[in-house]
Amino acid sequence: MKLVVGLGNPGNDYRGTRHNAGFEVVDALVKRHARDAGRERFGAICWEAELRVDGVQDKVLLMKPLTFMNLSGDPVAQAMRFHKLDAARDLLVVADDLALPVGHIRLRQDGGSGGHNGLADVAIKLSSGNWARLRVGIGKPAPRMSQVAHVLGRFTDEERPSVDASISTASEAVLAWLDRGAAAAMNAFNTKVPAPTPGPHGAGPQTDSASSS
């Protein structure tokens, strides 16, 4: 079994916000592949899917935590323990990323949280950062807008087509990770981020790591 977790905040107030990009990827996978209507387990809504894993059909658990973002690690850790999964081999977490432009995704087999509180809590609760994470670009805040206001805001009408395309691409990247492994999925789906536009003195803007509420 593999576990694919989309991070976000539960409830209608947060539906469609930038911070819920991880939820949207899981929603896309559920729509196409879930075998059930979903049920509450481990402090999350979980669906079972039968997908190609390492070349053969196998069970995959799709999860959206019902905890708020900062406590995302609790449901993940519970599911990992119950199913006796190995994080480095069996876990993929999907989250939003401020450092990536809208429309871009980035898959890594391991690494730090990049300031993302949901990813940080997963690492704390698992006592490890050695697990795959798929980041979906949400872009940086506008000038004088706080990061919190940005991530809890919604995409503009102009951004939405690019967001929808990246959600679709991210769901395909998840399928590739399951079937062909991290290296093949990274080669196929990681997009090149454009160079920053030079500022008035010739220096591009600083690249911030993803941040969360």
Catalytic residue among 19, 104, 116, 150: 19
Q: Which of 199, 130, 178 is nearest to 33 (CA)?
A: 178
Quick check: is 19 catalytic? yes
Task: Quickly count: other Cβ atoms within 10 Å of residue 161's Cβ.
Answer: 12
Pairing of strands 39-41, 132-137: unpaired
Angstrom CA distances, 29 to 8, 41, 114, 168, stand at: 15, 18, 25, 9
- Beginning with the edge strand found earlier in the chain, give each strand of the sheet holding 39-41 in spatial order: 39-41, 44-53, 56-65, 2-6, 91-97, 132-137, 105-108
Residues annotated as catalytic (active site), given as ranges: 19
